[in-house]
Structure 1
Amino acid sequence: MCCNHISSLPKTNPEISLNRRDWIALNGEQVLWLPPDARPSCSAIKANKVALGLTSGQIIFIGFRI
C-alpha cells in the first residue's frame, strides 16, 4: 500500500527531486514533465533512479544518467 505524500523514503540524492508532483528536476532544473496519469501518489529516489507509485497501482521506474 502506498503513502499519501510525495516521498515515502528519504531522498538520498539531492540532485534529483520531484516538484509539485508534475515535474522531475535535476539540480533544481525541471527536466521531465509528468502528465496527469503519471503523477505519483508516492515516490522514492535512490542514487540516479526514481520510483513513482500511481493511484492506479502501477509503479514507474525512471533512471537518469547523472
Structure 2
Amino acid sequence: LLTDAGAISTKSPVLSPGNITIPFTNALSGVGISEDKCWIMWQKKRLLWLPAPFRPTCSKVSGLSVIIGCSSGRVIIMRFVDLWLLD
C-alpha cells in the first residue's frame, strides 16, 4: 500500500476485533517518514534525522524519492539510490 508517508507492507496485518490495524512503525517498507516526522526511514530503520526546521508539514513519498514541505515554505526533494546496500 503506497501512502504519503511511504509504502506499507500488507503481508501480515495485525487483526483486532472488527477491523484490521497495521502498526505504522512496524509496517513501513522501503523509504518513508517516521510517525513523529523526525526521521527518513528505510525498511523500518532510522536513516536520516531531520532537524526541527526541516520536518515536514506535508510530504510525499514515491519510490525512492521523498518530498518534504517545511513550515518555512522550503521544499526539500531527496532521491535515494542503492539503499539495498544497507540491508
TM-score, normalised via structure 1 length: 0.77
Structure 1 unaligned regions, length at least 5: 1-8
Bigger RCO of structures 1 and 2 (CA < 8 A, at least 6 apart): 1
The CA RMSD measured in Å over matched residues stands at: 1.8
User: In structure 2, what is the Cα distance between the partners aligned to 1:16 and 1:34?
Assistant: 14
Number of equivalenced pairs: 58
Amino acid at match of 1:44: K
Instruction: Select the residue among 43, 57, 67 that pairs with 1:27.
Output: 43
Deviations 1:11-51 (A, max 9, x none): 46440111110001100110100001111101000011000
| Alignment gaps of 5+ in structure 2 | 8-28
**Which protein has the bigger helix share?**
2
Aligned position for 1:17: 32
TM-score, L = length of structure 2:
0.60
Please give the residue correspondences for 1:1-66 in structure 2 after superposition, counting only pairs within 5 Å: 10-11=3-4, 13=7, 14-19=29-34, 20-65=36-81, 66=83
Q: Determine which structure has more spread, i.e. the larger CA radius of gyration.
A: 2
User: What is aligned with 1:5?
Assistant: none
